[in-house]
Structure 1
Amino acid sequence: MNSKTLHKTPLDILNSIFGYPSFRGHQEEIIDSIVAGNDALVLMPTGGGKSMCYQIPALVRDGVGIIISPLIALMQDQVDAMQQLGVHAAFLNSTLTVMEQRRVEQQLQDGQLDLLYVAPERLLQQNTFQLLSQCEIALFAIDEAHCVAQWGHDFRADYLGLGVLHDNFPDVPRVALTATADSRTQNEIQQRLTLTDAHCFISGFDRPNIRYAIANKTAPKKQLLSFLRNRLHEAGIVYCLSRKKVESTAQWLCEQGYTALPYHAGLSSELRAYHQSRFLREDAVIIVATIAFGMGIDKPDVRFVAHLDLPKSIEAYYQETGRAGRDGLPSDAWMVYGLQDVVRMQQMQGESTASDQFKRTERHKLDAMLGLCEVTSCRRQVLLNYFGDQAPDQCGYCDNCQIPPETWDASEAAQKVLSSIYRSGQRFGVVHIVDILRGSDTEKIRQHGHQQLSTYGIGSDISEVGWRSVIRQLVVRGLLKVDLEGYSGLQLEDSCRPVLRGEQRLFLRKDEVVSFPSKQRKRSSKKSDVLPEHQQLWDALRACRKRLADEFNVPPYVIFHDATLLEMLESRPMSSMELLTITGIGDSKLDRYGRDFIDVICRHAEADVL
């Protein structure tokens, strides 16, 4: 029986199918607008409930909801999740056999589907258009809509063709959804998808459960290991820039006792799918990946996202860190970066064959990312302001708020650096300039006669790490530049003159020693820590969930999120009516799994009595 015959209003569907008592934020307003037939552009942070903004209207309106998703590998999990809720969902992609495709197409023609997931390249095929023209369509949902932005961090050419939906299906509402889009990208989405008359809903970009922390890169593997201490039983993602670094980091983490799997475009599609499946279905798996991994990942209990290399923009950083804490529980976004990251990013931009305008845009994005790294005030404020969102002066939850960075008057130190670079001819790199300042006796110093410079040895009171920090911050602030076409020699920018002449004071971050408590996490009403006296029941509930997940061949979170199990742990429901009051439990999941979890809770209660 089609679910549309059982439910009439959006609130009915929210309660009975999804198991939530009320809408959040702008959800109800968005859903009502789409149900009324309006187009919409929805910007909502990851974990904010974007998917319901098209799933519920698709169930209310007549016809099938067509969801355009960029990654084939994720469609199976999305469809599995809907089917567990009792929603008739399917996908069409190249992983299906000819017979399986025909069966889905027949279900579509017979009006048996509520939701159909397709990739953009599949949707744009002529035979798919012909098939859809024979069906009643409730709506088109374009997920990850920022992929249409040609200057964005996740551009996908197939998205450019989706503007034809307006011409071919003018009476069908279209909703474009994304978690990441600055004002420029928002305008590009509307123009390229012909959504100029769409209602815009911007729910804000804040992820209050995520703690942001960024450290100076000194010994990245040791720093990562320190961050991961006490996280042996947590799932997470570690991002690296190169495939080689992905492989070596994953192997090294395994040697340290973690379950770590590599993921990058150089692996076979079968191995990537296998590693992604393990990450989604098993506990405490760490994926070490390039940016090839992550878009649309629905795993709610990713407790951390770590970056061992600098992302190229705040958009990319926000998108990648947003994969942590989708369940709303405390999570961490941790990163280390250094001068070598800045140089590498600038080299990549310089080697690009793109237009000068594109390069300027990329440079501005990188400058904003570097600003986030070097800021001494609240990081969340900088992050949200970048997207035009309001933020308090202090969030109280990022590293800068919890451990305010110490600053120091680096005016004299900067003058020493700038003078050494100028006097040595503006053609030597960081290592040699630091050697000059510290008075090192090296072959290169003697070869060039730099022991005769007036600046030779005038910086022996500052460590090598300290001088590298000064130089990095001077590059980030635009007082120095790196000669990318030469041998990475440091060169003075015109903007350094006031500092060099002593006309302007310069205060820099003091970050020779940076420590980040591995468990200094924000407390909330949703506690992720289970008390010792509740551990036995918690383990039993998780074991029950894992058994059912294996039985139905779905990831455990498709059965119930951790937040739902934690609510069971707290309220101890012992009847179907009591279980139905738990957030995330609707009619379908109550029928499928209710008895199993009630039995676990009842057995635990009996054991306590005995």
Structure 2
Amino acid sequence: MTANTPLNILQHTFGYEAFRQPQQDIIDCVCQGGDALVIMPTGGGKSLCYQIPSLARSGVGIVVSPLIALMEDQVNALKELGVNAGYLNSALDLRTAQQVEQDLISGELDLLYIAPERLVQPRTLALLAQAPLALFAIDEAHCVAQWGHDFRADYLSLNILHERFPNVPRIALTATADQRTQAEIVERLSLNNAQQFISGFDRPNIQYRIQQKDKPRNQLLNFLQLEQAGNAGIVYCLSRKKVEETAAWLVTQGYDALPYHAGLPAATRQQNQMRFLRDDNVIIVATIAFGMGIDKPDVRFVVHLDMPKSVEAYYQETGRAGRDGDAATALLLYGLEDVVKLQQMMATSEGSEEFKRHEQQRLSVMLGLCEITTCRRATLLRYFGDELPHPCGNCDNCLQPADTWDASEPVRMALSCVYRSEQRFGASHVIDILRGSDNEKIRKFGHDKLSTYGIGKGLAITEWRSIFRQLVARGYLTVDPNGYGSLILTESCRPILRGEEPIELRKDKATLKAPSVRKRLLDIDEADMGLWNALRRVRKELADEHGVPPYVIFHDATLKEMIEKRPMNDSELLCISGIGDRKLEQYGGEFLEVLREYEYAQD
């Protein structure tokens, strides 16, 4: 047994040579009995910040997680490392749950994952009072924020941990929290004396691309065919119906696509999630019900077919791509209809007026991110209080700068038409008036008699839709959520309408293409592809045998390092990142056999 120091645990249990910043400081803080608030990007190694102190301190680490469906995989991954881990949730039968509880009380467990609603039950708290406790880790801590995009009511009761167990250190962790959410986490979890570790929000390996909807299924298909052949990814949709229709359509196009939303039977959701985690090349089509805590490292793309309702939601969802640090793409397709739909959803929600106003502000910021012409990453990071000193060079606006045009005259036409049609109609009808369409609705309301009828024939429908979308984004028009998407003038449009101010708008651009993306993602020489595929095959066989996703055996980065360094014995294999003592013992022989066979074949 190795010494129980954090560095030894890191090297011998997890197989990594050194800590990343600021892991060492966080782990030292918790090991010494201090509380910590950790804001760290997805893929930055948050889990080690509570797993290692749980192993280094005496007692069991209690991990509070809202992700019942993923606890089993998380626990299985730890068991593969030789860690005594368990979980308590409603999926366990009575006998198994009782055994876990006994292991908890007797101190047999290193880590116990537990859902928040179960944790705060009196019976569970009584069990914890009998157990030796190393720490409490509150994962996905942003769920405590009542203004947040992933609010969980059960998280509001978690301050009871501080009251009942004042001497047990607590660590709250999340990848997504603006300054308001950070303050709410501190207040609601009683973390006023906690050290705060905020290590930045940038995910430089993710390419952010935002495009206007123009036959979105064709846009999605082109993206998959040209850039993502054979890759795993997530496609987000706003409605359950659209999820199912999109997944079914992708299957007809030859893709292994599965739906996921809260309306599906629990067994179907679980099965589809497991397929996504454990099989290669699967595309999951989902509502926002899917994704929090997904550990799959090789998700190469996240596509939004509808606009998220907030920057927090967008950042959280795009962050599920490229957890392994390799290149990944986040593609968002949006249109004015998304704004109308989201505003209607807000108007019919059961939230207070204050909540609805806050949601509207968040939606406006999200729409602003979609419409900016400057670096998207810089704007995204600034929202979270993080600064990027220079343009990122890895977003669509950096790679293909937007063109602008003097839209003063068409904008005046648009605003005037909204005014003359009494601010009672949505963009589609106003565009019909401007373009001089002859249809029943135009005739019914007498809009063919308006002075603005037909004055906009010189612009295409797509150009007019772009104009109205940008006017809403800039606050010159607002959409009435209670009036079927009616466009309403705001006070700020008056100088433009009077001709006192000019206005420039962005030109909608064609889809940004990224040729040779697959080669860039793999970053493997053609001569080594045979070895790469052989290593992946043995990894998949071992994963199926042990009932875990392939990445639990080894990440792609570990296989790539094997190809680069060509270890031929145990000691050389142990020097590969991600291979600790237990994994060397369990899997080393199979991988060394493949490496030796390949080496001999080259001689």
Q: Residue 147 in 1 paired to residue 143 in 2? A: yes
| 2:402 paired residue among 405, 408, 415 | 405
- Paired position in structure 2 for 1:294: 291
CA pair 277-458 structure 1, distance change in 2 beyond 3 A: same
1:266-323 per-residue CA deviation (whole Å, 9 max, x = no partner) reads 1110010000000000000000001111111111011111101111100111111111
1:194-218 per-residue CA deviation (whole Å, 9 max, x = no partner) reads 1111110001000010000010012
CA pair 584-71 structure 1, distance change in 2 beyond 3 A: same
CA pair 92-447 structure 1, distance change in 2 beyond 3 A: closer
Q: Residue 121 in 1 paired to residue 117 in 2? A: yes
Q: How does 1:223-242 map to 2 (within 5 A)?
A: 223-230=219-226, 231-242=228-239
- Name the amino acid aligned to 1:543: R
CA pair 108-467 structure 1, distance change in 2 beyond 3 A: same
- Paired position in structure 1 for 2:310: 313
**5+ residue gaps, structure 1:** none
Q: Residue 476 in 1 paired to residue 473 in 2? A: yes
- Paired position in structure 2 for 1:357: 354
- Paired position in structure 1 for 2:531: 537
| 2:601 paired residue among 568, 593, 607 | 607
| 1:178 paired residue among 174, 191, 196 | 174
Deviation for aligned residue 1:105 = 1.7
- Paired position in structure 2 for 1:79: 75
- Paired position in structure 1 for 2:560: 566
**C-alpha separation in 2, matches of 1:474 and 1:520:** 37
- Paired position in structure 2 for 1:27: 23
| 2:279 paired residue among 277, 282, 285 | 282
- Name the amino acid aligned to 1:510: K
- Paired position in structure 1 for 2:337: 340
**C-alpha separation in 2, matches of 1:46 and 1:519:** 27
Q: Residue 15 in 1 paired to residue 8 in 2? A: no
| 2:413 paired residue among 416, 420, 442 | 416
1:413-460 per-residue CA deviation (whole Å, 9 max, x = no partner) reads 100101122222222222222122222233333344433333222222
**C-alpha separation in 1, matches of 2:504 and 2:162:** 54
The 8 Å contact of residues 229 and 518 in structure 1, kept in 2 or not, is answered as no
- Paired position in structure 2 for 1:461: 458
Deviation for aligned residue 1:522 = 11
Deviation for aligned residue 1:227 = 1.2
1:364-403 per-residue CA deviation (whole Å, 9 max, x = no partner) reads 1111101110010000011000000011331000011001
Q: Residue 578 in 1 paired to residue 572 in 2? A: yes
The 8 Å contact of residues 294 and 320 in structure 2, kept in 1 or not, is answered as yes
- TM-score, normalization by structure 1: 0.96
Q: How does 1:128-527 map to 2 (within 5 A)?
A: 128-230=124-226, 231-511=228-508, 513-519=509-515
1:152-173 per-residue CA deviation (whole Å, 9 max, x = no partner) reads 1111111111101011111000
- Name the amino acid aligned to 1:410: A
Bigger Cα displacement from structure 2, 441-450 vs 180-189: 441-450
Deviation for aligned residue 1:68 = 0.6
**C-alpha separation in 2, matches of 1:521 and 1:175:** 39
The 8 Å contact of residues 310 and 337 in structure 1, kept in 2 or not, is answered as yes
SS in structure 2 opposite 1:305? strand
**C-alpha separation in 1, matches of 2:507 and 2:426:** 22
**C-alpha separation in 2, matches of 1:167 and 1:196:** 13
- Name the amino acid aligned to 1:439: G
The 8 Å contact of residues 108 and 135 in structure 1, kept in 2 or not, is answered as yes
CA pair 468-18 structure 1, distance change in 2 beyond 3 A: same
The 8 Å contact of residues 307 and 334 in structure 1, kept in 2 or not, is answered as yes
Deviation for aligned residue 1:128 = 1.4
**C-alpha separation in 2, matches of 1:7 and 1:364:** 52
Q: Residue 94 in 1 paired to residue 64 in 2? A: no
Bigger Cα displacement from structure 2, 451-460 vs 199-208: 451-460
The 8 Å contact of residues 573 and 579 in structure 2, kept in 1 or not, is answered as yes
- Name the amino acid aligned to 2:559: L
Aligned residues: 602
Q: Residue 52 in 1 paired to residue 48 in 2? A: yes
**C-alpha separation in 1, matches of 2:454 and 2:38:** 58
1:221-260 per-residue CA deviation (whole Å, 9 max, x = no partner) reads 1111111114231110100011100000000000001000
The 8 Å contact of residues 239 and 288 in structure 1, kept in 2 or not, is answered as yes
**C-alpha separation in 2, matches of 1:535 and 1:68:** 41
Bigger Cα displacement from structure 2, 497-506 vs 448-457: 448-457
**C-alpha separation in 2, matches of 1:142 and 1:520:** 41
- Paired position in structure 2 for 1:6: 2
SS in structure 2 opposite 1:591? helix
**C-alpha separation in 2, matches of 1:522 and 1:365:** 35
- Name the amino acid aligned to 1:463: A
* Misfit runs of 4+, over 6 Å: none
**C-alpha separation in 1, matches of 2:31 and 2:140:** 21
